[in-house]
Structure 1
Amino acid sequence: MTRGLSAALAMTGGLLMAMPVEAAAIPAQTTPAQTAAAQSDLTAQVEAGLAAARAAYAADQTDEAVAGLEATKALIVAREGEQSPRLALPLNLLARIRIDQGRYPEALALIDRGLGVNARADPPAPVIEAGLLYDKAKAFDALGRNEEAETTARQSYDLRVVHLGPAHEKTADALNLYANALAAQGRYAEADPAYRQVLGMYEGLHGSKDFHLAIVLSNLGNALRRTGRGPEASPLYRRAVSVAEVSDDPVLLAQCLTNYGWYLHTQGDGLKAEIQFRRALDLAVEVAGPDHPFTGVVHTNIGHALSDQGRYAEAEPEFARGLVLLDAGLGPESPDVVDTLTGYAGALSALGRPGEAEPLFVRARAITTARLAPGHPDSLVEANLFAGFLLDQDRPGDAMAQLRTALAALLRREQGRTDSEGGRDWRTSVRGAAPLFERQVEAAWRLAATETPAP
C-alpha cells in the first residue's frame, strides 16, 4: 500500500526548476577523464530534473511535473539516444502520473518502453524493473485485467524480496497489490495469507496505528467475509476504522467506513450499516465531490442499508443516484456497477415494479458474463439474485436456465485449476455455489409442479 502518488513522488528538498533540454555537447574527441566528467554532469542534471518533477507533482503542479519529465527525457535522448537506460526512471514517473489521471493505456505504453530501455543496461537495474512492474500491475488492476495484475505484481514482489529485502515497505506494497489481484478474481482463500503477511510487514515497519494497516485490515476482513468467516472479520473492520480515524486522512476513513458498513449489511444489520454509510457519504462529498464515482458507491450502499430495513421507497432514489454517478464515472459496462444494478432492481421489485426491475437484472447479467472470470463469486451472487427474481415472477424455467449457466461456469473454472489451486480455493468455491444449488432445488420443484398434469 503506498501513500498515494503525490507522496510517492515527494522529495525533502525545495522546489527546483526543471533543467533545460539544451546541454553542452561532448567534444568529438575526449579523454577518459572528460568522458567521466560529462557522464557525471549528465547524471547530476537528470537527478535534478527528476527531483524538480517530483517536487512539482507533490505540490499538485501536474503540468510542471510532466514538462520537467519530458525535458529530462529530451536531455537524455540528446546525449545518449532513444535507447538510453537512463530513460527508465522518467518514463516510470510519467507513467505514475498517467495512472493517477486514469490514462491507463498511455501509462502501460510508457512502462513497456521503460522496461525495454532498462533491459539494455549492463546489467539491468532490478530495483527499477521492480518499480516499473509494480506500476504496470496497478494499471492492469485499474483496467480490471486481474490475471495480468496478479502475474506482474508477483514479479515485482519477487524482485523486491531479493534486491530490497523481505521487510522493505516497497516489498510489502507489491505483496499487497498481489493479494488485491487474487481477491479481485474471487480467490479469497489465497489472498488471506498474503494479506496477513502484508499486515505483519506494515506493522513491523510502521507500528500498530499507521495508515497502511487500515486498508490491509479491511481487505483481510473482506477476504474472511467472502469465505464465510464473518465473526473473524468483524474485529478487523472495527480496528481498520479506529486506525483510519487517527490518520487525518478522510479518504481512508471513508473507505474503511464503507467496508465496515458493507460487512454489517451482509450480516443483515441495516440500521448500523446505514450509520457507517452516511458518515462515509459526508466524507465522500467533502473530499471527492457530489459527482464522484466513490460518492456513487456510497449512495448505492445506503440504498442497500435502507432495503435491509424494508425502506424500499427511500432506497430507490439512492440506487438511482448511485447508478447515474457510476455510469458516468466508470462506464456503463464496468463490473463495479453490477451491485448497484441488482440492488436497484431488488428495490423496484419489492415496490411491485418488476417490469422496471428485469432490464436492470439483464444488464447486470450481461456485464458479469462479459467482464468477470467464469465462476467469479460476484457473478454467482448476481445469478442467484436474478434467479430469485424470476422465481418470484413464477418463471421457474427461466430461473433454472440462469442457475445452470452460472453453475456450469463455476465447474469450468474449477476444472481449469491445478490440484494445488483447487485445494487452496475449494472452500470459497463451495460456499459461493451453495446458494445456487439451494435455488436450483427450489426452481426444480417449481418447474416440476408446473409440468405435472392435474389429476
Structure 2
Amino acid sequence: MAAREASERNDHRQAAATILAELKQCEAVEPSRCALLLMWAGSETFQFDYQAAERLARRAVTLTGPPDGKSYPDRAHALDFLALTLGTQGRFVEAEAPRRAALALLEQNRPEADLRVADGYNQLAGVLDRLSRHSEAEVFLRRMLLLHERHRPPGHLLIAMSYNNLADNLASQARYVDAEPFYRKAMMLREQLSPSNPSALAASYEGLGRALINLSRADEAEPLLRRVIDIRIKTFEAEEYIVAWSYDNLAMLLENRGDFREAESLRRKSLEIQEANWPAGHLTIAAARSMLATNLDLQARYVEAEPLHLKAIAAYAAVTPDDAPAMADLYDSRAYNLEGQDRDEEAERFYRRSLRARATLPAAHPRRIFGYRSLAGYLRDHDRAWSEVRSLYRVAQAGVFDRLASYSSFDREAQIELRGYQPVFTGQVRAAWTLSNMPARP
C-alpha cells in the first residue's frame, strides 16, 4: 500500500525502496514466488535508473525459469520488461531475443484474439525497425493489423493505431506513397473516435507531415507539423521529450526550404529538452546533437558543429555495431563536416564507412542510393578515382531504376523523385566523359 501511494505521487525511489524491502522478505521465505515483486520493483526503478531496472528484469527472467504452462504469463512479462530496459538504453540488438521469446510464449499459450498477441507483434516490430530491418518488421505489423481487423469492431482505435504504425514502417522503407493512405486512415478514425485523445491524433498528423515532406508536398506538410506542436504543448508539459520531436520534424521541413536559422532555433530547443529528460549518453540526446550539427554544417559553421558530431557518434558507437545502418547517416554527416574543413582524407574515410553501413539496406532504398551518390560525388569533386566514380554511379542508377519500378505508374510522385536523382545520371555521364579524355597509359 505504501509503495503504491509513493508511486501515485511520483516518488518512484521511495516506491522502489519499499517494494525491495518486501522482496527481501519474500525471497527469504519462498524465492520462486517473488517474480511479480521483482518486476514491480523494476518498473518503479525504471523511472530513474535503467541499468538497475535491467538487473531486476534479468533476475525476474531467471526466476521464472523454463515456462511450464502455468508460469508463462510471468515469464513473458519478465522477458518483455527486460527487452524494454535494453531498448530504452539503445541496446536493440540485445532486445530482440527477449522480445521474440516473449512473443513465442504468447503465441503458444493465448488465442490469436488476445490483445497481448497483437501487442507482441507490435513490440517485436518496433525493435526490428530500430535495427533498420524494416521489411521484417512490416510482416509483424501486418499480422497485428490483421488480428485487430479480424477481432475488433470496425473503426476500433487499435485498428487506427495499427494503420499508423504500419505507415511509419512503410515510410522508414521510403515507401511514402504506400504510407500516405494508411496515415490518412488512422487520422480519419482518430478524428472521429478520439477527439479527446489529441496525443494519438498528433501522431497521425506528424507521420503524414513527414511523408508529405518526402513527397515534395511541403506546403501540405507545414500546417500539419505546426498543429502537432500546438497539440503537444497543450497536452504535455512544454519541456516533454515528445514536444522536442515535434520541433525536429518542423525543423526538417524548414531546412529543406533553406530556412536554416529558424530551424536552428528549433534544433536547439529540442536538444535542450532532450538533455533535461534523458540520462547522459542516451541515443535520443545523441540524435538531437547530430541534427543540430547537420544544421550548423548547412550554414558552413563546421568548427562549431564538430564537437556535436563527435559526441553523437561516440554515444551510438557505445551500443551499436560499427557497420549498422543506424551509423550510416552519422558517418555521412561527419564526412561532410570534415570536407567543409578541408580535411579530405578523413572525410573520405567517413564516406566509405557510411557506404559500408548501408550495405544491408535494400538496393533500391534511397538511403543506400544516397551512400553511393555521396562517395561518388566526393571523389568526383576532388578529381580522383574516376573509374570508381563511374562504378558507384552505375550501382546507384540500378537502385534508382528498381525504385522507380516499384511505382504503380509514372505519376507526379515518381516524376519528382526521378528529378531528385538527376545527379546520379549526370555524374555518370561526366565520369564517362572524363575517362574517355584521359591520356592513354604508355
**Secondary structure in 1 matching 2:349:** helix
Note if contact 2:361-2:368 (Cα within 8 Å) is conserved in structure 1.
yes
Q: Is the deviation greater in 178-187 or in 59-68? A: 59-68
User: Once the 2 structures are TM-superposed, how far is the Cα of residue 259 of structure 1 from its aligned partner?
Assistant: 1.8
Note the C-alpha offset of 1:412.
4.0
1:65, 1:346 → 2: CA distance?
42
Percent of residue pairs identical: 23
The answer to whether the aligner puts 1:253 opposite 2:237 as a matched pair is: no
1:96 is the counterpart of 2:87: no
- For 1:200 and 1:55, locate their aligned partners in 2 and report how far apart those are by CA, in whole Å: 37
1-structure distance, mates of 2:325, 2:308? 19
Matched residues in 2 for 1:69 and 1:362: separation?
Answer: 41
Deviation at 1:208, TM superposition (A): 6.7
Greater shift, 393-402 or 60-69, is seen at 60-69
In the alignment, what sits opposite 2:104?
113
CA distance in 2 between partners of 1:222 and 1:245 (Å): 19
Letter in 1 for 2:430: W
The aligned residue for residue 207 of structure 1 is: 195
* 1:194 lines up with 2:182 in the alignment: yes
Which residue identity does 2:74 align to in structure 1?
A: P
- Residue 343 of structure 1 aligns with which residue? 333
Q: Say which of 424, 438, 444 aligns to 2:429.
A: 444
- After TM superposition, the structure 1 = structure 2 runs for residues 49-68 of structure 1, keeping only pairs within 5 Å, are 56=41, 58-60=43-45, 62=53
- 1:101-130 residue CA offsets vs partner (Å, 9 max, x unmatched): 2242332342343144226xxx65443432
| Aligned-pair CA distance for 1:339 | 1.9
For residue 157 of structure 2, what is the aligned residue in structure 1? 169
Work out the CA distance in 1 between the residues paired with 2:184 and 2:323: 33
Deviations for 1:40-89, whole angstroms, at most 9, x for unmatched residues?
A: xxxxxx9x987x77765553464667767877x57xx9xxxx553x6554
From 354, 362, 366, the equivalent of 1:373 is: 362
| Alignment partner, residue 386 of structure 1 | 375
Name the structure 2 match of 1:320: 310
SS at match of 2:310: helix
Which of residues 261, 271, 277 is equivalent to 2:261? 271
Preserved contact between residue 380 and residue 436 of structure 1 (Cα < 8 Å):
no
1:358 aligned partner: 348
Q: List runs of 5+ in structure 1 lacking aligned partners.
A: 1-5, 8-13, 22-45
State whether residues 171 and 179 of structure 2, in contact with CA within 8 Å, keep that contact through their aligned partners in structure 1: yes
Question: TM-score when scaled to structure 2?
Answer: 0.79
Match of 1:138 in 2: 126
CA contact (8 A) 1:270 1:309 kept: yes
Contact 2:80 2:99 in 1 (8 A): no
The question of whether the paired residues in 1 share the 8 Å contact of 2:372 and 2:396 is answered with yes
Question: Given that residues 265 and 304 in structure 1 are in contact (C-alpha distance below 8 angstroms), is that contact kept between their aligned partners in structure 2?
Answer: no
The equivalences for 1:14-25 within 5 A come to: none
Q: What is the CA-CA distance between 1:141 and the residue it aligns to?
A: 2.1
Paired residues of 1:293 and 1:329 also in contact (CA < 8 A):
no
Larger Rg: 1
Contact 2:125 2:136 in 1 (8 A): yes
Q: Does 1:409 align with 2:399?
A: yes
Cα distance change, pair 345–165 in 1 and its aligned pair in 2 (3 A): same
CA contact (8 A) 2:191 2:201 kept: yes
Separation (CA, whole Å) in 2 of partners of 1:126 and 1:323: 41
TM-score (norm 1): 0.77
Give deviations 1:363-391, integer Å, cap 9, x for gaps: 111111x2211111112233332222122
Question: Is the 8 Å Cα contact of residues 76 and 106 (structure 2) preserved in structure 1?
Answer: no
Structure 1 residue aligned with 2:91: none
Task: Give distance in 2, aligned partners of 1:92 and 1:334.
Answer: 28
1:187 is displaced (CA, Å) by: 0.8
Shift of 1:170: 2.9
**Structure-1 residue corresponding to 2:3:** none
Q: Deviations over 1:308-333 (max 9, x none)?
A: 22222222222222222222243322
Number of residue pairs matched? Answer: 403
The 1-side partners of 2:72 and 2:408 are apart by: 40
1:178 to 146, 156, 166: 166
Match of 1:40 in 2: none
2:127 partner letter = A
- Paired residue secondary structure (2:318): helix
2:97 is matched by which residue type in structure 1?
E
Equivalent AA in structure 1 for residue 381 of structure 2: D
CA–CA separation in structure 1 for the residues paired with 2:113 and 2:341: 61
Letter in 2 for 1:280: S
Equivalent pair of 2:244/2:271 in contact (CA under 8 Å): yes
Question: CA-to-partner distance for each residue in 1:419-443, whole Å, 9 max, x for gaps?
Answer: xxx3179765654443433343244
For 1:59 and 1:211, the matched residues in 2 are separated by: 24
In structure 2, do the counterparts of structure 1 residues 406 and 449 end up closer, same or farther at CA, with 3 Å as the change threshold?
closer
What is the DSSP-based 3-state SS (H/G/I as helix, E as strand, rest coil) of the residue aligned with 1:423?
coil
* Letter paired with 1:227: L
Unaligned 5+ segments in structure 2 are: 1-6, 9-14, 28-32, 47-52, 88-93
Counterpart code for 1:262: M
CA RMSD between the two structures:
3.6
